[in-house]
Structure 1
Amino acid sequence: MPVNVITLHQENLVEKYTLDLIAKQSSGALWYQNGGTVIVASVAVDEKPVEEDFLPLTVQYIEKSYAVGKFPGGFIKREGKPGEFETLTSRLIDRTLRPIFPKGYTYPTQITIMVLSYDKKSDLQVCALNAAANALYISSLPFFQAVCAVRIGKIGNRFVLNPSPEEMAQSNLDLYVSGSNDDLLMIEMRSLAHSPNTEPTNAEPSAFDISENDLLEALSIAKKSIAKGCLQYQQAFDTHKLPPLDMAFNIPAENPDITAYIKEHFSEKISTAIAQMAKSERNLGLKKIATEVFTSYGEAQGWDLKAILRAIEAQKVKIVREQILSSGIRSDGRGYTDIRPIDIQTNILPFAHGSVLFTRGQTQALVVSTIGSENDAQFQESLSDKGANKEKFMFHYNFPGFSVGEASPISSPNRRELGHGNLAKRALEASILEKSKTIRLVSEIMESNGSSSMASVCGGSLALCASGIPVRALVAGVAMGLVAEGEKYAVLSDINGLEDHDGDMDFKVAGSRNTITAMQMDTKLKGVSFEILEKCLFQAKNARNHILEIMEKARDEIVLNTDILPSMQAFNIHPNKIVEVIGQGGRVIKDIIERFKVSIDLDRENGGVKISGSNHNGVMEAKHFILNLIDSRADSDKYHIGEIFEGEVKKVLDFGVFVGLPKGGDGLLHISRFEKDKAPFIKEQIHDGDKIKCQILGFNKGKIELDLIKE
């Protein structure tokens, strides 16, 4: 079977593309290999276009468990619902390739990327995008554009192109960039707080510091690498494109009479509708105008209502963009750099650990924090992991239909919700100093008119503070927009929904005053120039600092829900002593958990002990009890067998009574020490705080056993 094998050398990548090997009935497919990683990418196209005016593109990135010799996790041993990494990678590829499809393309198109073998060294997201882009390039679709992806890390002061997993473990930057020739199509960036081998402290902020200049330098390196990669792809694949399909692009023809009539008679009403900033109100206003045009004049002229709606939409877009570029005034009356009014309310939910209602203009996010122990961590499993990983920081973003006035049911999170939640998580993760607790942030979008994900970042940073979690610095997020016509362009700070819809770019930046923690860029253009990126970054910094001033004032006024905040103590004992804490059949640890109302996590290997509970005093008492329990030598020095004393009852349980000792620590007065006929009624006879006379019977593995002295 004749096949074509093409080997290309990128930075730290040796990519081998095998053509004409698999999926020959698809519209384009290839077999991709980098090291021991093998990926199949295919493109399938339906012959019949959809009637609606949108691009019906679907991207599915799928990881097969057999790629690393594993069975799928869970009860059913078959791949099912995609994992979070698969969903986010699918979005990454979709957001890169969508802009290169021509206007009017309405044929249902499916791009499938399957990981068949994984060497645990390759960057799956870089490999997957390159494979998908080149499968699209050689496909039978009647358009093509070379696309390349790279990842940039930063170790010390050195930028690393397509770093290995070992290098990424030392990097404080994770920058993923895709582009075509000299243009950048999509950017994902996050700062990494520290090396995994280093425990962060307040005195160690350097890994948190990714500045605008650092990012621009990294983007410059990425741009050069992408241009070089695209040139290689063009030279390698130009002669291997499949014969193009005969496709008609669905670009609705404009009726010049409708356009002229609307412009002359209804421009003012359209401008008034634009000023209705709520999406539902604006759409309703435009539909009313269309109905008025149709009934008053259009029906007699034989105009179609859909054609009128299209003409009104086109006029609306034109008015919005011309107003911005010509007069410097945006649809809501703001200038290019103005931020919408901000209101912040903290800890408005009495029984949540932390809560913040963050409102910016007509965008409102209620972000709620919940603090837990290691037992509350989310288990995640992926191809690159030896086993399930514990995810101790979670950010869940929910976008109910009512937030934009839509009557839609609430269902499981979609790709957009997962993507926005992941962006907010990446923005905040580097700022968290507390690594021992499990933290869950949930952003409930109450109202949305532009960048609810960035409102979630702002609310999330304050929600951490509102639940007593220490952070390196507050983190704010802002969405930047772009309107470009020819050489003329305007960069907009804090875009609203209309500017997002009718503009050319959505550029989200999150960070502290002088650092960037996360960034995401999507564009409707064929690419964005470096000049525009630079202007966006520094304009976003000014916007971010304005928001942070307001957030800092809100942080100073936070009143913690102290009574319900969980407490945790982490300490180490000698690993050999762990068995004493557990006790025979787990009896001792069960007694401690029941007595002090706490959760306890033990690490047999290093002797780690983590105690958590909803009551701070109970946690501290449990800690002291464990320390006293294992310190048998010290107890023997402090007390002697036969010693009689009067102690205070600390806790009455079914199996006995814990009594406070005069020189510190507790002793156990077992139920067997009571008379048989009185033992069943121990809780009726003795109460917490009572004084009783006891005698020390002996020491058993650090536990002091007592006898009751009868009066």
Structure 2
Amino acid sequence: MRHEININNHLEIFETNKVAKQAAGAVLMQEKNAVVLATVAREEKMVEEDFLPLTVQYIEKAYAAGRIPGGYVKRETKPGDNETLSARIIDRSLRPLFPKGYAYPTQIVVMVLSADPEVDLQVMSLNAASIALYLSDIPIKAPVCGVRIGRMNNEFVLNPSNSELKNSTLDLYVAGVKDELLMIEMRALANKQNGQHCMNELNEDDVLKALEFAGNAILRGSNEYERVFAAYRKNSKLEFKIETDGGKIVDFIKNSYISKLKIAINQMAKSERASEISQIAKEIENEASAIENEWKIEDIEKALYLCKRELVRSQILNENKRADGRGLKDVRKIDIETNILPNAHGSCLFTRGQTQALVIATLGSDNDAQMSDLLTEKNPICEKFMVNYNFPGFSVGEATPIKAPGRRELGHGNLAKRALHPSIDTDYIHTIRLVSEILESNGSSSMATVCGGALALRAAGVKSEKLVAGVAMGLVFEDEKYAILTDIMGLEDHDGDMDFKVAGSYEGITALQMDIKLGGIEQQVLKEALYQAKEAREHILQLMEEANQNIVVNEAILPKIEIFNVDPNKIPDIIGQGGKTIKEIIEKFEVNIDLDRDKGEVKIAGINHDFISQSKEYILNLVHSKGSNKKRDRKEVPKFDIGEEFIGKVQKVVEFGVFVELRDGVDGLLHNSKFKEKLEIGNEVKVKVAEIKNGKVSLNLA
């Protein structure tokens, strides 16, 4: 059945009961020339464990953009980072909808079958997945609606096209159901204004206005989806796990073990706390009451969890006290050390309480940029700023193997990237890679990555416009009472109702991420959280500014870049036949060279200033000597006679031979095929000129 909906600046066409009819729910959605298939499938048997077994996959098919996958394997294999991040957004938006006690293994799959360069596939895919879920026999109260908000000429724009978003100063992605916001992702988009780099942070009031604008669109969209599809929902006959209050076990714990549990809760580290609670469970298991009533260890552990959660939340709401003794607005103690790694370009060890991030900055050339394919872009995009986040098991006291980064690692790295990117000039000449190694974690390691990353950039000599700091906020809500927590630790994240991360400068917010577990948040509470986060951010920024004043940049190991232009027609002369010439230059002078054929731009990067200057002079001599029908300037390149002999020192050893010093600062190449003995730098060797071509001297042994 075909359904056409004109809503939120888009005409959306849905086909139901047409494809994938054996799935629990399926919908084919089209917007302009983009088509996605969203399906929901579930198992008939519930899992025994107490969690929601939901998996979300977002898959981009190469044929959707008329392409064949690159590489040796000509088919789609593991998902790319963009696919993983898109799947994560869908998961975070839909997960809060599932009813309590739902424990059926469930898979939501979104496949992009046709891509349109102007269509936002993330928003479209979320809405398609939401409708497929709503049509299934899984009882959710209403469909989720996702929208993206841009800002152009100081006006908010609803669901801008991909080309419009490139001219926006804001990228705000919000998902919700009815009047409840469930998931928020925001980033400021830097641009040039009057030739100057501008970060375009948003102040707290503007963020609230943007969220209100998004909320109105979500309400319209969710209501319209419900109106169109409510009649086509499948009847639900599912049974759910009955949540118990722990009964006698909870009463026993409260009467006999509440003091021990309080001590365990107040253990600072997650590993210590888990160990203490596990020990309490074993003690209770050996009690007479447990033996008499045949209490199972898993039931005891569940009851302890219920008591723990109640204790943590009660302390916060009724005593304004947190497990580690802090007040609601207090930030944990912060320690900052910079450039602790002697041979890294820049490094920062950022420690906040029991969360510790070692962030390392590495500067590279254009060749080091990350290339990636997007279905909505004709050509691969080139990313010159990268943030990689690693979370080894030892950071939380677990003996787990180091694996490839998962969704969480990619998501946290992406959040830090979005927070820091606006502070870096869009014309910055180096490619930058930040790597965050989480050495210890007890809450908000992604925000520690932001703080450490901002200082690692400064430690590497990167002139970022402003320092950026991040802080994680929490919310505990019970009946009419609520409490907003600053700088939450892992325990408060787990037992709280909201995870709210805010990053920015003194002037405003550059990135924001929010997930709400309780289903919606009032505007006034959100406003309080934003301004409380601002206070914490300013406190952290003050400490970071002090650390910034003490940074000693190690200029000796930082790469340098020389940029100049030549006639674009001379670029092939620099490359040489089969890349031979440019390879020889790179080997001889220990540099990296990037060439722009269209503009004739030459970028030379390296550590040694002298080698960069020499390679530049070498290239300029090379292109000048290639002037059409012009004789070489004899003053630029000394004259050598064929057969002329020299006793010279080896100046450079390369893969294909050695360079031998002749005279007047000119070296000649003695190829590997011309000698057998091993030659090293400084060895004297007798050579003779064999050939002179394009200003390069080839030698034989004399």
TM-score of the superposed pair, with normalisation by structure 2: 0.90
Counterpart CA distance in 1 for 2:697 and 2:48 is 83
Q: 1:638 to 1:144 in 2, by over 3 A?
A: same
Counterpart in the other structure of 2:455: 462
Paired residues of 2:334 and 2:350 also in contact (CA < 8 A): yes
How far is the alpha carbon of 1:41 from its aligned partner? 0.9
Counterpart in the other structure of 1:107: 104
Counterpart CA distance in 2 for 1:639 and 1:611 is 21
Paired residues of 2:468 and 2:504 also in contact (CA < 8 A): yes
Query: AA paired with 1:254?
Result: D
**1:193 to 2:185 alignment:** no
How far is the alpha carbon of 1:657 from its aligned partner? 5.4
Paired residues of 2:388 and 2:410 also in contact (CA < 8 A): yes
Paired residues of 2:651 and 2:661 also in contact (CA < 8 A): yes
Counterpart CA distance in 2 for 1:136 and 1:165 is 27
SS in 1 for 2:28: strand
Residue 571 of structure 2, aligned match among 578, 590, 600: 578
Q: 1:640 to 1:482 in 2, by over 3 A?
A: closer
CA RMSD of aligned residues (A): 3.2
**1:68 to 2:61 alignment:** no
Counterpart CA distance in 1 for 2:89 and 2:638 is 70
Counterpart in the other structure of 2:6: 9
**1:445 to 2:442 alignment:** no
Q: 1:458 to 1:656 in 2, by over 3 A?
A: closer
Matches of residues 528-543 of structure 1 in structure 2 within 5 Å? 528-543=521-536
Counterpart CA distance in 2 for 1:489 and 1:451 is 21
For residues 34-63 of structure 1, give each alpha carbon's deviation from its aligned partner in whole angstroms, at most 9, with x where no partner exists: 111111111111110000000001111111
Counterpart in the other structure of 1:547: 540
Counterpart in the other structure of 2:264: 273
**1:151 to 2:148 alignment:** yes
For residues 320-375 of structure 1, give each alpha carbon's deviation from its aligned partner in whole angstroms, at most 9, with x where no partner exists: 11111111111111111110001111111122222211110000111112221122
SS in 1 for 2:437: strand
Counterpart CA distance in 1 for 2:202 and 2:582 is 46
**1:50 to 2:41 alignment:** no
Residue 259 of structure 1, aligned match among 240, 250, 253: 250
Counterpart in the other structure of 1:380: 372
**1:351 to 2:343 alignment:** yes
Q: 1:167 to 1:5 in 2, by over 3 A?
A: same
Residue 510 of structure 1, aligned match among 478, 503, 506: 503
Query: AA paired with 1:593?
Result: I
Query: AA paired with 1:575?
Result: P
Counterpart in the other structure of 2:27: 30
Counterpart CA distance in 1 for 2:633 and 2:58 is 64
SS in 2 for 1:291: helix
How far is the alpha carbon of 1:656 from its aligned partner? 6.2
How far is the alpha carbon of 1:252 from its aligned partner? 3.7
**1:132 to 2:129 alignment:** yes
**1:483 to 2:476 alignment:** yes
**1:598 to 2:595 alignment:** no
Say which is worse superposed, 361-370 or 248-257, in terms of deviation. Answer: 248-257
Paired residues of 1:650 and 1:659 also in contact (CA < 8 A): no
How far is the alpha carbon of 1:586 from its aligned partner? 4.7
Counterpart CA distance in 2 for 1:87 and 1:545 is 33
Residue 360 of structure 1, aligned match among 346, 352, 360: 352
**1:292 to 2:287 alignment:** no
Counterpart in the other structure of 2:331: 339
Q: 1:133 to 1:613 in 2, by over 3 A?
A: same
The unaligned stretches of length 5 or more in structure 2 are 641-647, 687-691
Query: AA paired with 1:236?
Result: V
Paired residues of 2:651 and 2:681 also in contact (CA < 8 A): no
Paired residues of 2:455 and 2:467 also in contact (CA < 8 A): yes
Say which is worse superposed, 232-241 or 349-358, in terms of deviation. Answer: 349-358
Matches of residues 195-274 of structure 1 in structure 2 within 5 Å? 204-244=196-236, 246-274=237-265
Say which is worse superposed, 230-239 or 624-633, in terms of deviation. Answer: 624-633
SS in 1 for 2:242: coil
Counterpart CA distance in 2 for 1:386 and 1:658 is 49
**1:83 to 2:80 alignment:** yes
How far is the alpha carbon of 1:628 from its aligned partner? 4.5
Q: 1:143 to 1:437 in 2, by over 3 A?
A: same
**1:519 to 2:512 alignment:** yes
Q: 1:453 to 1:660 in 2, by over 3 A?
A: farther
How far is the alpha carbon of 1:127 from its aligned partner? 0.4
Query: AA paired with 2:42?
Result: V
Counterpart in the other structure of 2:643: none
Paired residues of 1:321 and 1:503 also in contact (CA < 8 A): yes
Paired residues of 1:668 and 1:706 also in contact (CA < 8 A): no
Query: AA paired with 1:219?
Result: L
How far is the alpha carbon of 1:77 from its aligned partner? 1.0
SS in 2 for 1:440: strand
Query: AA paired with 1:520?
Result: Q
How far is the alpha carbon of 1:192 from its aligned partner? 1.3
How far is the alpha carbon of 1:390 from its aligned partner? 2.3
Query: AA paired with 1:272?
Result: I
Counterpart in the other structure of 1:565: 558
Matches of residues 697-708 of structure 1 in structure 2 within 5 Å? 703=695
Counterpart in the other structure of 2:644: none
Residue 117 of structure 1, aligned match among 92, 109, 114: 114
Paired residues of 1:651 and 1:659 also in contact (CA < 8 A): no
SS in 2 for 1:379: strand
Counterpart CA distance in 1 for 2:638 and 2:609 is 33
How far is the alpha carbon of 1:584 from its aligned partner? 5.7
How far is the alpha carbon of 1:589 from its aligned partner? 3.0
TM-score of the superposed pair, with normalisation by structure 1: 0.89
Counterpart CA distance in 2 for 1:704 and 1:398 is 48
SS in 2 for 1:18: strand
Counterpart CA distance in 2 for 1:144 and 1:363 is 38
How far is the alpha carbon of 1:91 from its aligned partner? 0.5
How far is the alpha carbon of 1:212 from its aligned partner? 1.8
Counterpart CA distance in 2 for 1:528 and 1:385 is 36
Counterpart CA distance in 2 for 1:164 and 1:136 is 26
How far is the alpha carbon of 1:525 from its aligned partner? 1.1
Query: AA paired with 1:70?
Result: R
Q: 1:590 to 1:413 in 2, by over 3 A?
A: closer
Query: AA paired with 1:326?
Result: N
For residues 203-249 of structure 1, give each alpha carbon's deviation from its aligned partner in whole angstroms, at most 9, with x where no partner exists: 724343322222111111100000011111111111111122x2221
Paired residues of 1:210 and 1:517 also in contact (CA < 8 A): yes
Paired residues of 2:143 and 2:222 also in contact (CA < 8 A): yes
Query: AA paired with 1:5?
Result: R
Query: AA paired with 2:159?
Result: N
Say which is worse superposed, 259-268 or 362-371, in terms of deviation. Answer: 259-268
For residues 10-47 of structure 1, give each alpha carbon's deviation from its aligned partner in whole angstroms, at most 9, with x where no partner exists: 22211111111111111111111111111111111111
Counterpart CA distance in 2 for 1:493 and 1:681 is 62
SS in 1 for 2:286: helix
Counterpart in the other structure of 1:328: 320
Percent of matched pairs sharing the same residue: 52
SS in 1 for 2:271: helix
For residues 584-638 of structure 1, give each alpha carbon's deviation from its aligned partner in whole angstroms, at most 9, with x where no partner exists: 6655434432331111111221101011113233223322333344456999496
Query: AA paired with 1:95?
Result: R
Paired residues of 1:275 and 1:332 also in contact (CA < 8 A): yes
Paired residues of 1:208 and 1:431 also in contact (CA < 8 A): no
Q: 1:584 to 1:410 in 2, by over 3 A?
A: closer
For residues 89-109 of structure 1, give each alpha carbon's deviation from its aligned partner in whole angstroms, at most 9, with x where no partner exists: 110000011111111111111
